[in-house]
Homo-oligomer: A and B are copies of this chain.
Amino acid sequence: MGAGKIRGQLLKGTTPLLVLSVLREGELYGYEIAQRVRERSGGALAPSEGSLYPALHSLEADGALQAEWRDSDKGPRRRYYRITPKGSGLLAEHEAEWAAFSVGMARAVGTRANG
């Protein structure tokens, strides 16, 4: 069954990290963030809108993101998100936490451990 999307509990807590991480590239709007995450993860990760938009609002409320409405030539207006200095700090924290977690999992599960 190969390349199914990851769904369910594993994604919990990673949405802010994914959002902040893709926004490091520059400004993006919500719909585009979802596509970018899916692309960059090779299709493995695809946070749904029901979790993406609340996460964006939460990050904006925390001051980690700065947002702005802009009209589009075609289609509805878009809300562009940009990472703030505070967001960069938060990203660093999330990255460190993910790294620690990932290393801990690798050791505990040990499918490929050195010892």
Contacts and interface: CB of A to CB of B under 8 A. Distances in A.
Interface of A: 3-4, 6, 8-14, 17-18, 21-22, 37, 40-42, 44-45, 95, 97-115
A68 to B, nearest CB: 24
Interface of chain A: mostly helix, strand, loop or mixed: helix
B18 A108 contact: yes
Contacts of A9: 12-14
Contact of A112 (B13, B97, B114): B114
A14 B113 contact: no
B101 A6 contact: yes
29 contacts: A3-B100, A4-B100, A6-B100, A6-B101, A9-B13, A10-B12, A10-B14, A10-B98, A10-B101, A12-B12, A21-B108, A21-B109, A22-B108, A37-B108, A40-B108, A40-B110, A41-B104, A41-B105, A41-B108, A45-B101, A45-B104, A95-B111, A98-B105, A98-B113, A102-B102, A102-B105, A102-B113, A112-B114, A112-B115
A42 B115 CA distance: 13
